[in-house]
Amino acid sequence: MNISEFAKIAGVSKSAVSRYFNDGYLSDDKRALIEKAIEETGYSPGISAHSASKRVTKLVGVIIPKLSSESISRVVDGISEVLTAEGFDLLLVNTSNDVNKEIASLELFRNKHVDGVILLASIFTETHLSVLSKMKVPVVIAGQQLKGFNCVCHSDENAAYALTKLMLDKGRSKPAVIGVTHDDLAAGKARWDGFYRAVAEAGLSVPRRFTEVALFNMDSGYEKAANIFSGNVKPDCIFCATDNIAMGVLLYCREAGIKVPEDVMIASVGDNRSGRVAYTTLTTAHLHYKTEGINAARMLLRELKSSDMVTKTLQLDFEIIERGSTGGCETV
């Protein structure tokens, strides 16, 4: 059923119907007529033709590297909360960590398929920059900071610094670190930097053997912990870039009979659910992921209304949650 057909049934003109669903510049009689016909037929206007005319899709493209991640689903949660309240729908693209797919999605969105894009990126290649600079719809980048673009991100460096300092302040002097690739500026580089800043401030240094680069998962954390503990001299505290990695370390320690926090303290960033219930509960930095999503969406909305030429970066604060793995309370 299309608008003409429906208009005929309702006994009004196409325009009247169109007005009913839009500005509503309409007399009450016509309005009643239309409402009655809707009751009977269940008609609702097709969105595609609407978009074709209006040149507005009421759709926001959200590009994510994966979905099965606690942090990412919280971000998307925040995004959807704000966007749906404003009548926008989410076009979700899951790139499965495939950079090419990420680029392809951006290109897909480049023109007029969506009104705006929120990109949860992990790394930025040359191609990213090139495609991003050519976008014709507003883009907001979430979780990372990229000069010249609207961003919502976290205080990764400070969080890593605070966690490391917390352990060193308790008298630990042989720190180790398991980070992730520097290509990821937020979870990688910034957290490395924060760790090293705290270490330097304490007048300590970190032997090569005490630094490992892991993947974003528990198994990788386990493996890297095994490496670190394989030598004669053992660390007395470990900073991990992500909670998942820390979970792997915790698992290794448990199996190897290494006591946490007595023998080694552990702290990491993310505040995953698991950390609250792990056999040794995890000291972590809570990043406000949902707030990240909410703010990214709001920023996009603002951009949609009046595209400022000056780009903004919003950096969200964090909270240290001390639990058992650094000698804090076991149940927080």
* Residues in touch with DNA (CB under 7 A): 2-4, 6, 12-19, 21-23, 25-27, 29-30, 45-46, 49-50, 52-55
The C-alpha atoms of residue 109 and residue 37 are separated, in whole angstroms, by 37
Contact yes or no for 167/177 (Cβ under 8 A):
no
Position among 32, 49, 200, 329 found at the interface with a second copy (CB under 8 A): 49
The binder of 76, among DNA, a second copy, none, by C-beta within 5 to 8 A per type, is: a second copy
165 near a second copy, rule: CB under 8 A: no
Span from 62-70, 149-157, 178-186, 313-321 in contact with a second copy (CB under 8 A)? 62-70
The C-alpha atoms of residue 198 and residue 34 are separated, in whole angstroms, by 68
Task: Give 20 or 124: the residue with its C-beta nearer to DNA.
Answer: 20
The C-alpha atoms of residue 60 and residue 139 are separated, in whole angstroms, by 10
Residues 84-97 as b/e (b if ≥16 CB within 10 A, e otherwise) read eeeebebbebbbee
The C-alpha atoms of residue 290 and residue 293 are separated, in whole angstroms, by 5
329 near a second copy, rule: CB under 8 A: no
Q: How far is CA 122 from the centre of its chain?
A: 9
Position among 18, 73, 181, 291 found at the interface with a second copy (CB under 8 A): 73
The C-alpha atoms of residue 275 and residue 40 are separated, in whole angstroms, by 54
Task: Give 18 or 181: the residue with its C-beta nearer to DNA.
Answer: 18
User: Which positions lie near a second copy, rule CB under 8 A?
Assistant: 1, 42-44, 46-49, 51-52, 57, 59, 62, 66-70, 73-74, 76-77, 80-81, 84, 89-94, 96, 107-108, 110-113, 134, 218, 247, 250-251, 254-255, 272-274, 276-280, 330-331
